[in-house]
Structure 1
Amino acid sequence: MNGGLAQVADWLICPVCRRQHGGEEPLRLTGRTLRCSSGHSLDVARQGHLTMIPAPPGVNADTPEMVASRTRALEAGIFDPLDRVIARGLAGSRRILEAGAGTGHHLARVLDAVGDAHGLASDISVAAIRRAAKAHPRMAAIVADTWQGLPVRSGAVDALMCVFAPRNGGEFHRVLAPGGLLSVVTPMPHHLAALREATGMIGIQPDKREQMIRSLADSFDPCAVETVQHTMTLSPELAADVVQMGPSAHHTTHLDLTGPIEVTFAVEVTTFTRREPS
């Protein structure tokens, strides 16, 4: 019980104390409850995750339908090459946090490759985190808002993953230990191009990676970049899942594919080092 959570409980801080006075009060896990010294308590859900935000997630959180589509698409192997690249870049890491982790699929694959590492998946979607809580025995899962601040102790992790998710440079810098690595995945302009043309999916800004690097420039230095590109022939059903697993599910698209479609997956994995004070 609570195996993954017990392994990372000392990474966590009380979110109530953090909101009230900015403190980093540690939490102690007893049974199915975490408590801080100020008396605040958080109960582990029966699905195994921990909710660390005071209000329900907003309308942009992944829905159960989006989570189901994402699970089917990822289990079909659409991003297996990407997971291998991330794992190779973080091979020396032992404490890995994924912000905006969704179902925890990517972090779980990295933990499979990095045999003695432990992981923490954070996402604002309760539906996604319920799956993440069961994704890997060496991983815990929390509902948290990257923009509002991660309930993670300063310097608690030595690697942080961010795959197509919001980035909070200041928070990422705070929770990473000195010498820590940040791995960020961004889509290239031609990522899913055929599927975008066929269904009306949301477009990709041509300078997305450059904007991402600028947004992190105050806290991180890029040290490596690797392109991951491959082509798959998707059935109409799998193509629909790829469309509906992400933000395009919140918008109108025409999913009237009548046959298989060849789709190119093209992303960049940029690795950053945590900038230390001069």
Structure 2
Amino acid sequence: MLPDAANLLLCPSCRGRFLSSDGGPGNPGAALRCPVGHSFDAAKQGYFNLLVGRGTVFEADSASMVAARFEFLEGGHYRPLAEAVAASVAPALAGDKPVVLDAGTGTGHYLRCTLDTILARHSAVAAIALDISKFALRRAARMNPEAANLVCDVWQPLPVADAAVDAVTVVFAPRNPAEFARVLRPAGLLVVVTPRPGHLAEIAARTGMLGIEPDKDERLAESMGGHFHLNLARDLDLQLSLSPTDVENLAYMGPAGHHLNRASLTGRLAGLAAVTDVWARFRINVFERLQDPGSVTTWPRSVPTH
């Protein structure tokens, strides 16, 4: 069956509204079709691949990176972060049937928590999940079968209608402010999660993980200028007690996984203690869409949470 959000999607080739099909005689599978005739069939895992045209400059996560992320998140280590993201979008989800878009959904764990939180208050919710990695979408489609799980490039025009969603979440993923502003309703919220200086510092050097740029907040604010106003920046610190396998998965599941060799990483972590205490330091940024495109984005004082 097609997700409820299918009627909010646009064809990536012609930008026309999809005329969805749940199958029938001679057409057993779900498909997205537009009036011009472009058609996208659902993969057997339940997602749709909407990549068209020229290739992306963004490197998709590999199957092994996605597997590491799935195993780590299944351990519940970042569950408080997922709950904080869900709480941050809640003020925008007051309608009868709210719509949430998760850009860079990965394995779908953060969206799952958000959907469960919404469904505790509403009888229905529609969701759209985007990622460049088909390996991630295979996991996400199983995690969130009610969502429209789409392989697409966030740097390109999103396959979503104007003013169609109430909230956009972006957890450690690329951001396209202009497109997020376009698809958000006027009172919608954009929630962006970024790491803070000191994030995973206890294991960063040993694992070869990438460092956190000192001007990351300023660059985020600058990139959002002209589209969003930052309403709140909340800090969340989590003390994690990790096994050697957890540490390896944590290192390999992120951006460093694109250049780390898994076998070398395993060797580098040989002799690691049975339990390693690590601090994860996040910033949860809640943006409101600017009604006046000429407004200036400001950066309020953050609210620490431990």
Global fold match (TM > 0.5) = yes
Pairing partner for 1:8 from 5, 9, 12: 5
- The CA deviation at 1:132 is 0.9
Contact 1:111 1:138 in 2 (8 A): no
Moved segments of 4+, more than 4 Å: 55-59
> Matches of 1:235 and 1:221 in 2, distance apart?
40
- The CA deviation at 1:207 is 1.9
> Matches of 1:228 and 1:10 in 2, distance apart?
36
> Matches of 1:223 and 1:72 in 2, distance apart?
34
- The CA deviation at 1:273 is 0.4
> Matches of 1:203 and 1:121 in 2, distance apart?
28
Residue identity in the other structure for 1:189 = P
- The CA deviation at 1:136 is 2.2
Identity %: 41
Which residue does 1:163 correspond to in 2? Answer: 171
Pair 1:85 & 2:84 matched: yes
Pair 1:232 & 2:240 matched: yes
Pair 1:105 & 2:109 matched: yes
Pair 1:270 & 2:268 matched: no
- The CA deviation at 1:6 is 2.7
Give the 3-state SS of the residue equivalent to 1:204 in structure 2: coil
Pair 1:61 & 2:52 matched: no
Pair 1:209 & 2:217 matched: yes
- The CA deviation at 1:101 is 1.0
- The CA deviation at 1:74 is 0.6
Residue identity in the other structure for 2:258 = H
- The CA deviation at 1:138 is 3.0
Q: TM-score, normalised by structure 1?
A: 0.92
RMSD (Å), alpha carbons: 1.6
> Matches of 1:96 and 1:153 in 2, distance apart?
13
Q: 1:49 to 1:252 in 2, by over 3 A?
A: closer
Deviations 1:239-274 (A, max 9, x none): 000000011111237442222321111100000001
Which residue does 2:148 correspond to in 1? Answer: 140
Which residue does 1:131 correspond to in 2? Answer: 139
> Matches of 2:17 and 2:237 in 1, distance apart?
42
> Matches of 1:27 and 1:198 in 2, distance apart?
49
Deviations 1:145-174 (A, max 9, x none): 000121111111010001111111110111
Deviations 1:77-136 (A, max 9, x none): 121111111111111422100111111111111111111322111000000011111112
Pair 1:29 & 2:44 matched: no
> Matches of 2:260 and 2:154 in 1, distance apart?
27
- The CA deviation at 1:54 is 2.0
Q: 1:247 to 1:75 in 2, by over 3 A?
A: same
Which residue does 1:21 correspond to in 2? Answer: none
Contact 1:132 1:140 in 2 (8 A): no
For these two proteins, the number of residue pairs brought into alignment is 269
> Matches of 1:58 and 1:66 in 2, distance apart?
18
> Matches of 1:236 and 1:61 in 2, distance apart?
26
Larger radius of gyration: 2
- The CA deviation at 1:197 is 2.2
> Matches of 1:45 and 1:273 in 2, distance apart?
35
Which residue does 1:71 correspond to in 2? Answer: 70
Give the 3-state SS of the residue equivalent to 1:70 in structure 2: helix
Which residue does 1:114 correspond to in 2? Answer: 118
Q: TM-score, normalised by structure 2?
A: 0.84
Contact 1:187 1:268 in 2 (8 A): yes
Contact 1:108 1:139 in 2 (8 A): no
Which residue does 2:26 correspond to in 1? Answer: none
Contact 1:12 1:27 in 2 (8 A): yes
| Unmatched segments (≥5 aa) in structure 2 | 24-29, 294-306
Contact 1:103 1:129 in 2 (8 A): yes
